[in-house]
Amino acid sequence: MLSRSLALFVLLLAAHRATAYEVVLSTQGEYMDGYLVNGQAFPPRVIVNDPDPHPPDMLTTPPYLGGRHLNGQVCFFPPSVPHHHRQYIVADDEYREACLDPNPPQARCSVTDPTSPFYVGVSLDGWAAFSSKGVWTRQHINVQGQPNVDQNSDPQGAKDPQGCVFLRDGRLIATDVGSENGTNDGALMVFFPGPNGDYSTYCFLDKGLADPGMPVLDDADNIYIPEPEAARVDKFSPPYPSSAADCANPDLLVTMLPQKSTWLAGGANKLNIPISIARLRHSDHFYVAGAVFPPIINEYDANGTFVRNIVPANVPKNPLGMDVGRDGTLYYAELNLDPVTFSPRCGSVSMVQFDKSGNPQPPVTLGQHLQFPDGITVIPSSKLRIKFRELHPSPDIDPSQCGGE
């Protein structure tokens, strides 16, 4: 009897693996797309989050799925935070984009019922939490320490929230790009999980970063963050604060700063302006992308020593977010900047596959005609309770609406 049960379990597991597939989640134009990757160019692309109702000035058709204005990478709560089983967060500026910037505001900004599919809430720019079904949980994490704020108070929150990563114990590490005006006001923060699964307390680990990008972790909880305006990749090492008591001062800056060092300085191997980093799975190596002068992607070891080139100089179109699939495929977003004005044109998402000997192959385009694609996160389809193949297709934007080719 036991052997039959074991055999049935093996069969069910094999069937599950056969039906699971990888999905590349990518934020662009405040949307979130899902690429149902199949090893070929231009795989099916679906809408995982549509930020706006249609039309936005009426309460007729609610926003599709998540319904939030999103940017950057996707980060899943670890099992150590039971209140958020299989949930994830993404940088969110919904209230600003829907209610403050438009004139007049979108119609749903007047909705006060939290159970309404049109509900926006009054929240600072920060990070929104989503259920395993891709639906906003009504939770918002921000640097004011409150889920909602009075509409007459400062609505900014983080200047430009983007990156995130969770430590195994549930602490959230997040980056704020800052004002991007050369004032080096980007920030690195740590949020602490509360008893009810909230993240209302936090500390700043650094307030003087130069346009910090999206972070990655290694097995020792070292944090690697590109600082493109400073032309380097920083490495922050433990210990990190364990509670708000470690930054009990008006600036909320930790009294004992974590160890910080330059892990990779720009200028060598043609990578002059590091802008993003991705860790190779089951490895201590990393891919690092340079966005300009020239755009390029290289591989480095744990010490920041150059290993090899992955995408030759001037081949990638100003890469930004990156992640690596289970089979080692590298996926990355491309801004496609104008070479004279550096303004973004129609962006794209591409991948680099590797042959049996581990040699990188020429990039393959997965999606094009995108508006400022930034975050890339690769997940198995089984990680979420979303029927990706049944979602609405994500249409190409007319090139005239995303800056041209």
pLDDT in tens, 289-320: 999 999 999 999 999 999 999 999 999 999 99
Output the pLDDT for position 9: 39
Burial of 306 (0-12, 13-18, 19+ CB in 10 A): middle
Output the pLDDT for position 20: 77
Q: Which residues of the chain have pLDDT under 50?
A: 1-2, 6, 8-18, 145-155
Output the pLDDT for position 154: 43
Output the pLDDT for position 184: 82
**Total-model pTM:** 0.92
- Class in CATH terms, 28-401: mainly beta
Output the pLDDT for position 156: 53
Output the pLDDT for position 19: 66
Among candidate residues 218, 213, 214, 225, the one with its CA nearest the CA of residue 302? 218
Question: What are residue 306's DSSP bridge partners?
Answer: 300
The torsion angle over the Cα atoms of residues 74, 79, 85 and 86, rounded to 10 degrees, is 40
Read off the pLDDT of residues 157-166 as tens digits, 9 standing for 90 and up. Answer: 678 899 999 9
Output the pLDDT for position 168: 95
Output the pLDDT for position 146: 40
Output the pLDDT for position 178: 85
Output the pLDDT for position 90: 97
Output the pLDDT for position 145: 44
* Separation CA 105–CA 156 (nearest Å): 16
Read off the pLDDT of residues 187-217 as tens digits, 9 standing for 90 and up. Answer: 999 999 998 889 999 999 999 999 999 999 9
Question: Concatenated DSSP letters for 2-71?
Answer: HHHHHHHHHHHHHHHHHH--EEEEEEETTEEEEEE--SSSS--EEEEE--S-BSTTSSSBPPSBT-S-EE
Among candidate residues 34, 199, 194, 64, the one with its CA nearest the CA of residue 126? 199
